[in-house]
A and B are shown apart, each in its own frame.
Chain A
Amino acid sequence: MTEIMQTGLGLLAAIQEGIPIRPPAASSIAEGVDRLHFFLTGITLFFTAVIFAIIFYFMVKYRRRSEDERPADIEGSLPLEVVWTVIPTLLVAVVFVWASSLYFENSRPPSASMEIFVIGKQWMWHLQHPEGPREINELHVPVNVPVKLTMTSEDVIHDFYIPAFRVKKDAVPGRYTSLWFQATKLGTYHLFCAQYCGADHAEMIGWVYVMTPSDYAAWLSGGARGEPMAQAGEKLFNRLGCATCHLPDGTGKGPSLVGLYGKQEKLRSGEMKLVDETLIRQAIVTPNSFLLPNYAPVMPTFQGLINEEQVLQLIAYVKSLGPEERKANSK
């Protein structure tokens, strides 16, 4: 009973404060998405109201007054059908173009984005900054800097969702997906998993901390610091024996990895492939799934021997050996 009273009071207080109808708009795209959303809300309420009003009017005006009355025998009206087909079509065309162009902008990370790596695992988020710091269920980012998240999952499909930034993308095992955002307001914002992933799906939540650049730099260099990813990757590279085959001059059993990242490589079949995160992961986890000219398919697989985090570290190391990241296709 007291709970009911408490929630009742809470309801009144919220009404007094104004029940919020949108999350904080804390990213560069949030206002744009909200504008589209409110436009659509307006259309929905408008047309619903119009239909309701017309129906209500007809209901009253044409209510049956006697059992013998003969309603008009109207078959239809082609002009009317055309009008009420064409107008909605034009309306949805406008919405489609608006929404799609927003979506296009929102799906291409600016080339100078800061990269952070995300691994979803039942039931927590592991986040890895290239400089070293690791976070669990927390993400620290500087304000007004574009950030690109490259994500995967260790187990089932998860989904990385920051309502305040209006961004969301699945984290799928076996591949990399990515999203980008630019935080525009300092503060603390919810982070949710938005793809059902089992028992503690609802606990796979956390916080995003948007800080000033100086605070972020301080956070980055202070506190619990892990190794930079590329450095950890190099250690792994040697420990796992990769260095024995992948000699830097290309005379080993495997190709040299120096300067490889971001290049287009020719496969034995003649096909050209971009050397990006996905291809490197494929080479580590399912080697020999593509064949190179001049090299025999003898690489052993490392699936099951290293986890996704370590794969990302190896990729970071390979990246560090090569030219700057070309504009790889963002997914």
Chain B
Amino acid sequence: MSTAVIDALPEASAQPSRVNYLNASYGIRSWLLTTDHKRIALLYLSSITLMFFVGGAFAVLMRLHLIQPQGALVEPDTYNKLFTLHGVIMIFFFLIPSIPATLGNFLVPMMVGARDLAFPRLNLLSWYIYAIGAIFTLYATISGGVDTGWTFYPPYSSTFSHTQVVPVALGVFITGFSSILTGLNFVVTIHKMRAPGLTWFRLPLFIWAIYATSIIMILGTPVVAITIFLLGLERLLHVGIFDPKIGGDPVLFQHLFWFYSHPAVYIMILPGLGVMSELVTCFSRKRIFGYSFVAFSSMAIAVISFLVWGHHMFVTGQSVYAGLIFSVLSFLVAIPSAVKVFNWTATLYKGSISYQAPMLYALGFIGLFTMGGLTGLFLASLATDVHLNGTYFIVAHFHYIMVGGAVMAYLGGIHFWWPKITGRMYPDGWARFAALVIFVGFNLTFFPQFIIGYLGMPRRYAVYPPEFQVLNVMSSAGASILGVGYLIPLIYLIWSMRYGPAAGPNPWQAKGLEWETPSPPPTENFEEIPVVTEEAYDYAAPHTGVARG
């Protein structure tokens, strides 16, 4: 039979007036001292949204500046700070926490049938650590900024830069612990707190993805932490770990840095891949095609991701043989991602497909992620990477995956679970319109960058030769459209929190334990812990006794 029925609302238009996690207590202390994973998810949602728009503002300034070859807006020093802070903020303070800390925190306990994560107070501490790290970074931003690039390569960052390297490095170092503790919490929760009957292979694929992401967070983040720590010490004490003048090796920094930062990009995309499985199944009302293949591909990506860092360093003068090894492994890491794309596509076959906003984001994701991933092959290829490294081709490649992929998956997930999180529905027409604007704006911004990259325009250039102007202007035009596109959901989502129609427990008729609770859920999630007897995404089973939303 189906999972235990928790709550059957008599009608869809019930106002969310009963006690739920949002109204269970009032006042700022009840939020700042909460241990409820759902409230902590919302704390994260507000802070990362803020950081997204700060990082986005820097991107807008950069693209405006680049409409002219000699720079239209700022001095080169300022431009160098803009791209550095854009990278630092977007990567460490938006992308890495985005899905895990918001959707993960909210959903992991619910999807495994638990009342909270294993360590709720640690969860709150994670948020405070994140906030402190963010404050350091924002302080550094307003007190002069930093101009080393988010990659902080020495000797420039350790010895030559005159900017606020140490505060930003400290901010990133501190925030890393937030990541580590969140990953730890997820791993323990998934291992130890699954509801009765919920075996590993009945878990939603979102959980598999979060689990794989957590493994990477746990193993990788400490290495970048110690690397940044060493860099900070070198800068403060003028000792020479990476300084060639004292026998230090600047390339060692790159090895240590990329040992984390490559797996980090999988931290940024794996959760989105998990969201995708949830969206594609729900909006085709069909179980996922090849469940175990999708589950194992997440684990394969997590493992192989630790073995490919050298592909960022093909032109540093490292041995040709090292290059070969990193190249072949980098090709291999693409295969599990391809397998996922094929499985999602096959899930659509003979499905019953509807096109609400979350599905539009999912479909956009598949296309853009495929392109972004395939352009990775150009970079895994040694011969072409020599030409493309350090150019706009790389910038286009990673933005296709991070923005065309991760951000779209994030938005798709936010739109999908919004009714569960807030108990309200947003206007789907506006949502679909925004998805379209974002898709168009995104492609116009980043596709031209593939071309100027191959033509030879290096990245991190505040000024550039005039023959690259046309494509730069196209890119900047796209960026303005993209910027508008991101503002639209901000507006209607906030609007919906107050004025949106009430959403029932399961407006999408999705499968999953989280959909068997009221919207918004009560603080303890479930009155009784459910007993699971179904496979994941068992859309072929008769509808559970949950009212239609």
Contact = CB atoms under 8 A, between A and B. Distances in A.
A36 B540 contact: no
Contacts, number: 286
A331 B469 CA distance: 35
A103 B390 contact: no
B363 A55 contact: yes
Interface string B414-449: 000000000000000000000000000000000000
B456 A161 contact: yes
B351 A71 contact: yes
Contacts of B470: 7, 10-11, 14, 19
B8 interface: no
B335 A88 contact: yes
A86 to B, nearest CB: 10
Interface stretch (A125-133, A173-181, A232-240, A248-256): A173-181
Interface stretch (B184-192, B458-466, B497-505): B458-466
A302 B76 CA distance: 36
Contacts of B200: none
Interface range on chain A (Cβ under 8 Å from partner): 35 or more
B29 interface: no
Contact of B315 (A11, A54, A70, A169): A169
Nearest to B71: A202
Interface in B287-309: 287, 289-293
Most buried by A among B245, B339, B461, B465: B461
Interface string B384-398: 101101110000000
Contact of A99 (B156, B316, B382, B458): B382
A39 to B, nearest CB: 10
A168 interface: yes
Contact of B353 (A20, A59, A92): A59
A157 interface: yes
Interface residues of B, number: 96
Contact of B284 (A62, A157, A174, A199): A62
A310 B485 CA distance: 56
Given A96-B381, A166-B387, A157 B155 contact: yes
A6 to B, nearest CB: 10
Contact of A100 (B244, B285, B324): B324
Interface in B303-335: 315-317, 319-320, 323-324, 327-328, 331-332, 334-335
A277 to B, nearest CB: 13
Interface stretch (B205-213, B365-373, B514-522): B365-373
Given A7-B473, A286-B247, A170 B465 contact: no
B334 A175 contact: no
Interface in B103-150: 147-149
Interface stretch (A43-51, A135-143, A258-266, A290-298): A43-51
B454 A37 contact: yes
A52 B334 contact: no
Contacts of B461: 201-202
B5 interface: no
A177 B317 contact: yes
A81 interface: yes
Given A19-B470, A95-B381, A163-B387, A201 B80 contact: yes
Given A88-B338, A161-B390, A201-B460, A103 B247 contact: no
A155 interface: yes
Interface stretch (A72-80, A111-119, A208-216, A219-227): A72-80
Contacts of B455: 20-23, 163
Nearest to B456: A163
A28 B10 CA distance: 76
A198 B161 contact: yes
Interface string A27-40: 00000110011001
B349 interface: yes
B248 to A, nearest CB: 8
Interface string A172-200: 11110100000000000010111111111
B469 A198 contact: no
Contacts of B199: none
Interface string B187-229: 0000000000000000000000000000000000000000000
Contacts of B367: 48, 51-52, 55
B285 A81 contact: no
Contact of A22 (B386, B454, B459): B454
Given A44-B371, A72-B286, A100 B327 contact: yes
Contact of B316 (A92, A93, A156, A170): A170
B239 interface: no
Interface string A1-27: 001000100110010000111110000
B390 A40 contact: no
B342 A70 contact: no
Given A19-B470, A21-B451, A203-B463, A37 B354 contact: no
B377 interface: yes
A168 B320 contact: no
A107 B540 CA distance: 58
Given A54-B345, A58-B348, A85 B454 contact: no
A40 B346 contact: no
Contacts of A144: none
A36 B244 CA distance: 37
A231 interface: no
A190 B455 CA distance: 11
Nearest to A189: B456
A59 B540 CA distance: 20
11 contacts: A19-B470, A37-B384, A55-B345, A59-B348, A74-B286, A76-B343, A93-B331, A96-B331, A168-B315, A168-B389, A195-B390
Interface of A: 3, 7, 10-11, 14, 19-23, 32-33, 36-37, 40, 43-44, 47-48, 51-52, 54-55, 58-59, 62-65, 69-77, 80-81, 84-85, 88-89, 92-93, 95-96, 98-100, 102-104, 106-107, 122, 155-157, 159, 161, 163-164, 166-170, 172-175, 177, 190, 192-203, 205, 286, 289, 303-304, 331
User: Closest 6 CB pairs between A and B?
Assistant: A174-B244, A163-B456, A99-B381, A194-B390, A73-B540, A103-B382
